[in-house]
A and B are shown apart, each in its own frame.
Chain A
Amino acid sequence: QKEVEQNSGPLSVPEGAIASLNCTYSDRGSQSFFWYRQYSGKSPELIMFIYSNGDKEDGRFTAQLNKASQYVSLLIRDSQPSDSATYLCAAHYGNNRLAFGKGNQVVVIP
């Protein structure tokens, strides 16, 4: 079982719509979770950090954490062409490392 899974294929959304990304993790001991945005050829940029059950909002981004279901999601509201990127989900493991999913590519269509 992979530590962090992001199973959805590329996601195409119209400009202005909501993009929804999902992520599951295998270790119930993981306490915090990260969403990074990575543009092609660039390094990952932290966009959300969450460690409490429920929702956390930051601008157009909302992260949702459900520890009972071992599930993390990211919503991007009012999607813009500049949101077109790969989104990486990561879980913090007790030995001070992040385990990453493979990422989801998002394409926002003008």
Chain B
Amino acid sequence: KAGVTQTPRYLIKTRGQQVTLSCSPISGHRSVSWYQQTPGQGLQFLFEYFSETQRNKGNFPGRFSGRQFSNSRSEMNVSTLELGDSALYLCASSFQGDWDNEQFFGPGTRLTVL
């Protein structure tokens, strides 16, 4: 069974640009969550999607947005990039996102903002 895939794996952008990251969950999984990981803040929750609906959002500015498609693939977008957005962006896949579902991470997208 294929794991979670994320593209691209690495990105270099400049301040003010926007970026779109993609995540394909494990086959059959319908919940996709996004996290930002930085050395200072650790892993922080961005948002979670299930059946094309955002069910929950973390404490991030509106520049961070996402969506989910009917095949459960998800994208997140960051507009007007800032230096502080440099991080590893991870998506996690689970069956339904419920408490009794395991959650598996993809390899991540390393974003560098110059």
Interface positions of A (Cβ within 8 A of B): 30-32, 34, 36, 42-46, 49, 51, 88, 90, 92, 94-103
Contact = CB atoms under 8 A, between A and B. Distances in A.
A46 B100 CA distance: 14
Q: How large is the interface on B (under 10, 10 to 19, 20 to 34, 35 or more residues)?
A: 20 to 34
B21 interface: no
Nearest to B49: A96
Contacts of B106: 43
Counting from the closest, the 7 A-B pairs by CB-CB distance are A100-B43, A31-B99, A96-B97, A97-B45, A95-B56, A43-B108, A32-B99
B92 A100 contact: no
A9 to B, nearest CB: 15
Interface of B: 31, 33, 35, 42-45, 48, 50, 55-56, 58, 88, 90, 92, 97-100, 102-108
Given A43-B108, A100-B42, A102-B42, A32 B100 contact: yes
